[in-house]
Amino acid sequence: MDSPLLLVVDDSKMSRMMISRFVGDLRPDWRIAQASSGAEALDMIEQEPPALVSMDVNMPGMSGLEAAGRIRLHHPEIRIVLCTANIQDAVRQAAEKVGVRFVAKPITQESIERMVALFEE
């Protein structure tokens, strides 16, 4: 795979920066883009579909689950991992239903290593 594009979607600028930094350290060849909302992510995906998406769940406007569902509908090949503090069973089940993997926040070196491993499965 030539340097895949990872789209980091989170309404927290700090979270986007941390995920981007950890992934950049682990996979320096990956290209990384950022979106601050589900709607912005969907717009960006129409311009250049990424191979990978890291998606927060709780965001203003469209939830990460809804955005992930829409991405799945039009781009089933994109690998999506939810990166969220919202770890209720209902969220996990909804994620599984749309074929999305799951990593719990807080954002740490370890959680991002898990995310990268899920992307590469």
Domains within the chain, CATH numbers bracketed: 5-120 (3.40.50.2300)
pLDDT at residue 87 greater than cutoff 80: no
The C-alpha torsion from 35 through 59 and 94 to 116, rounded to 10°, is: 40
Q: What mean pLDDT is reported for the chain?
A: 94
- Average pLDDT, integer, range 33-37: 98
Entry pTM: 0.94
* pLDDT of the residue at 91: 84
How far is 54 from 93, CA to CA, in rounded Å?
18
- Average pLDDT, integer, range 49-66: 95
pLDDT tier at 11 (50, 70, 90 boundaries)? Answer: very high
